[in-house]
């Protein structure tokens, strides 16, 4: 077995898979816990759940609003997310490894379609990177980790796409090792970076709504903590 396949079936991959799955799960549990505690502390516990769910869903399928601002970038970003998820989760090769690793998998999408989607995600990620680099406001906002994550993703896509081609000039196993290592890197950093939005996304709007529900006496307690019982003047 080539090294990269050994790596994908070996203990290191299990380690990373557990960190990825349990780490993200932990974030969800903690956030739900926090939100529940915040609701309990809130003076007003009624929440517009319907509105929150509608808003949250409307950004999972944001087709009617992507064009509103920075349309090109927004479509690239959305397309990138869709293409990335489909290629990552429904590629036959990935699923085969997954079945070996954890014992089950699901149906796959046919290779030619995924080839197109991979190209789409490469283009999408490239546009995102390009925008970060060449738009003044995006560049100002970008942190090092934003660039590194995009480069990591591009590494994964490009190596995965090129490796299987007939015209691939680089040794197959070497490129796949690169692909595997980058993929494992992505899984490993997920619970510790903004990638965690893949599971936390549904909770953000709910959280924003909840945190407007202030807790009674909160302000007074802050004053007491800072200035003691006698408080401060206004």
Partner 1 sequence: MNNMLRTWIKDGLWAIVFAAVVAAVIRFVVGLGAGSGLNDATPWGMWIAFKLGFVALAGGGFTLAAVVYIFHLERFRPILRRAILMALLGYGSFIVSLIFDLGLPWHIYMPIISWQHHSVMFEIAWCVMLYFSVLVLEFSPVILEHPLFKHKFFQVILHGLHKAILPLVILGIVLSTLHQSSLGALFLIMPHRVHPLWYSPWLPYLFFTSAIAAGMMALVVEGFLVERWFKRGMHFDLLERLGAWVPLPLGLYLLLRLSDLFLRGVLPGALDGSWQSILFLTEILVCGILPIGLLAIKKVRESREGLLTSAILIIAGILSQRMSLSMFAMRQSTGLDYSPSLAETLIAFGIPAAALLIYLFFAENLALLGDEIPNPQATAKLRPLWMFSQDTPGRIIFARRSGLATFAIALILPAMLNLPISDTSANAVQPAIGWETLRIDGNQTGYIVDFPHVEHQERLTEQLGSKESACATCHHLNYPDDEATSCSQCHTDYYQPISIFNHTVHQKSLGGNVSCVECHETEHVRQSAAICQDCHETMTAQEGESVFNPFASSYKDALHRRCLNCHEQKAVELDKPELALCSTCHTYYESDQLQTNLP
Partner 2 sequence: MAVSSDPKNSSKSESPYFYHVEPIGETGDRAEKFLKAFAAILQNSNYRFIVELFSITSAKCGRCSASCQVYQASGEPRDIPCHRTHLLLDVYRQYFTPGGQFLTRILEGESLSEDKIDDMAECFYRCLACRRCTLECPMGLDHGLITHLGRYILSEAGIAPKGLVVSVREQLEGASGNTSAIPLPALLDNLEFLQDELRDTKGIEVKFPVDQQDAEYIFYPAVSDYLMEADTLMGNAAVLHATGTTWTIGSQYFDGINYGLFYNDWVLERIIEKLVGEAHRLNARKVLVGECGHAARTARQFIPAFAGDKSLPVVSVLDLTNKAIKEGKLKLNPNTITERVTYHDPCNIARSGWLLDPPRQILKSFVKDFVELTPHGKANYCCGGGSGLVSLDETYEFRMKISGKSKAEQLRACGAQIVATPCANCKKQLRELVDFYKLPMQVVGVHDLVLRAMEF
Q: Does 27 bind partner 2 (CB under 8 A)?
A: yes
- 86 Cβ neighbours under 8 A, 6+ residues apart: 109, 114, 117
Phi (first) and psi of residue 128, to 5 degrees: -60, -45
Contact partner, 85, from partner 2, partner 1, none, Cβ < 5-8 Å per class: none
Q: Does 192 bind partner 1 (CB under 8 A)?
A: no
Hey, what are 201's tokens?
């996304």
Which of 32, 35, 39, 41 contacts partner 1 by CB under 8 A? Answer: 41
Site string for partner 1, 9-28 (x = CB under 8 A): xxxx-xxx-xx--xx--x--
Residue where the block lists tokens 């100002």 = 140
Euclidean distance between CA atoms 164 and 40, whole angstroms: 54
Q: Does 227 bind partner 1 (CB under 8 A)?
A: no
200-204 contacts, C-beta under 8 A, 24 or more apart: 200/27, 200/28, 200/31, 201/56, 201/60, 202/56, 203/28, 203/31, 203/32, 203/35, 204/56
Given the complex with partner 2, which of 101 and 146 has the nearer CB atom? 146
Residues 155-194 that bind partner 2 (CB under 8 A): 192, 194
Euclidean distance between CA atoms 161 and 139, whole angstroms: 28
How many Å separate Cα 17 from the centre of its chain? 15
Burial 72-96 (b: 16+ CB within 10 A, else e): ebebbbbbbeebbebbbebbeebbe
Q: Does 33 bind partner 1 (CB under 8 A)?
A: yes
Asked if 101 and 180 count as a contact pair (C-beta separation under 8 A), the reply is no
Given the complex with partner 1, which of 149 and 177 has the nearer CB atom? 177
CB of 14 to partner 2, least distance (A): 24
Number of residues that bind partner 1 (CB under 8 A): 21
Contact partner, 115, from partner 2, partner 1, none, Cβ < 5-8 Å per class: none
Given the complex with partner 2, which of 83 and 203 has the nearer CB atom? 203
Which of 29, 53, 113, 148 contacts partner 1 by CB under 8 A? Answer: 29
Euclidean distance between CA atoms 172 and 164, whole angstroms: 7
Q: Where do contacts with partner 2 occur on this chain (CB under 8 A)?
A: 27, 31, 34-35, 37-38, 41-44, 46, 51, 55-56, 59, 62, 65, 68-70, 73-74, 77, 131-132, 135-138, 140-143, 146, 192, 194, 196-197, 200-201, 203-205, 207-208, 210-223, 225-227, 232-234
Q: Where do contacts with partner 1 occur on this chain (CB under 8 A)?
A: 1, 6, 9-12, 14-16, 18-19, 22-23, 26, 29-30, 33-34, 37, 41, 191
């Amino acid at each position: 077995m080539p090294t990269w396949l050994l790596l994908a079936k070996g203990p290191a991959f299990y380690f990373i898979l557990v960190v990825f799955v349990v780490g993200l799960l932990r974030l969800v549990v903690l956030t739900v816990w926090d939100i529940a505690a915040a609701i309990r502390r809130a003076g007003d516990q009624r929440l517009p759940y319907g509105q929150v769910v509608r808003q949250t869903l409307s950004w999972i399928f944001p087709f009617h609003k992507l064009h509103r601002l920075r349309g090109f970038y927004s479509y690239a970003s959305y397309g990138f997310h869709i293409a990335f998820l489909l290629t990552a989760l429904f590629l036959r090769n990935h699923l085969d490894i997954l079945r070996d690793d954890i014992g089950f998998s699901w149906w796959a999408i046919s290779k030619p379609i995924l080839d197109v989607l991979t190209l789409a995600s490469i283009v999408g990620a490239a546009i995102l990177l390009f925008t970060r680099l060449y738009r003044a406001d995006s560049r100002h906002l970008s942190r090092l980790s934003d660039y590194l994550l995009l480069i990591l993703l591009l590494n994964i896509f490009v190596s995965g796409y090129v490796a299987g081609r007939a015209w691939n000039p680089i040794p197959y196993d070497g490129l796949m090792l690169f692909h595997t290592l980058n993929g494992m890197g992505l899984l490993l950093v997920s619970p510790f970076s903004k990638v965690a939005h893949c599971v936390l996304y549904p909770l953000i709007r709910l959280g924003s709504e909840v945190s407007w529900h202030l807790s009674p006496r909160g302000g007074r307690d802050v004053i007491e903590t800072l200035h003691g019982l006698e408080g401060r003047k206004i």
